[in-house]
Structure 1
Amino acid sequence: MVSAKEFAIWLKDKFLHERQGITLTRRDINKLTGRQGFSLSFVNDTHYELMRYGIAFVTDTARENFYLIPIKDCKHWRAALDSQFEKELYCNIYPIERSSG
């Protein structure tokens, strides 16, 4: 059985230079790691190890599909808006209101 750290190293070695995201299923991870099941802490630990290399390891809410996403070239949200619109168009953006609950 492979640890989260060993799995993260394998993922890094194979996919570090991918420009687009990579998807894996739960079944893929079970086969690659030799595990019959794994916990959310395994996912969190894998994510932690990969973030040092600019790769996010995330899952959907059902934990059936997993994604390796390169984050090295991410833009700040304001810079992304700058490239989409004229600066004056978003000068009226206000913080998102918290719901009372």
Structure 2
Amino acid sequence: MTMVCAKEFAEWLKLRFGSATESVVMTRDDVNHLTGRQRLDPGFIHDVHYELMVHGFAFVTNTSRETFYLIPIGKAINWREHLEGQFEKELYCNIFPIIKSG
């Protein structure tokens, strides 16, 4: 199999999973097989993610880069709207910014 670039792989993912409403999971071996690559560097994954974001998908991995996730983000909601919908307004006003210690 010929090695494909990030843009080609992103296009392949978009064509096959573009209508997905649930996340799609792939292993490192799956991605290596589909792309023809022997190693997956963070730059390649970042480029695939960048190409897919304009189409409403995130392509991310876990910290060990053994599992990859194609996640539709079209139905993402604003964090404030989510909290306002779950809690009473009085509780919501008690949320303060996270302060870094150091």
TM-score scaled by length of structure 2: 0.94
Q: Which residue of 2 aligns with 1:82?
A: 84
Could you tell me which of 31, 53, 69 is aligned with 1:29? 31
Runs of 4+ residues over 2 Å off in structure 1: none
Letter in 2 for 1:92: N
Letter in 1 for 2:86: Q
TM-score scaled by length of structure 1: 0.95
Q: In structure 2, the residue corresponding to 1:24 is in which secondary structure?
A: strand
Q: What whole-Å deviation, never above 9, does each CA across 1:10-33 have from its counterpart, x for those lacking one?
A: 001111111111111100001111
Task: Note the residue ranges of structure 1 that are not aligned, 5 or more in a row.
Answer: none
Q: What whole-Å deviation, never above 9, does each CA across 1:14-72 have from its counterpart, x for those lacking one?
A: 11111111111100001111111121110000000000101000000000000011111
Range with bigger deviation, 77-86 or 1-10 = 77-86
Q: Which residue of 2 aligns with 1:51?
A: 53
Letter in 2 for 1:97: I
- For residues 45 and 62 of structure 1, what CA distance do their matches in structure 2 show? 18
- For residues 60 and 38 of structure 1, what CA distance do their matches in structure 2 show? 13
Alignment size in residue pairs: 100
- For residues 99 and 11 of structure 1, what CA distance do their matches in structure 2 show? 41
Q: What percent of counterpart residues are identical?
A: 57
- For residues 81 and 87 of structure 2, what CA distance do their matches in structure 1 show? 10
Range with bigger deviation, 31-40 or 53-62 = 31-40
Task: Note the residue ranges of structure 2 that are not aligned, 5 or more in a row.
Answer: none
Matched, 1:98 2:100: yes
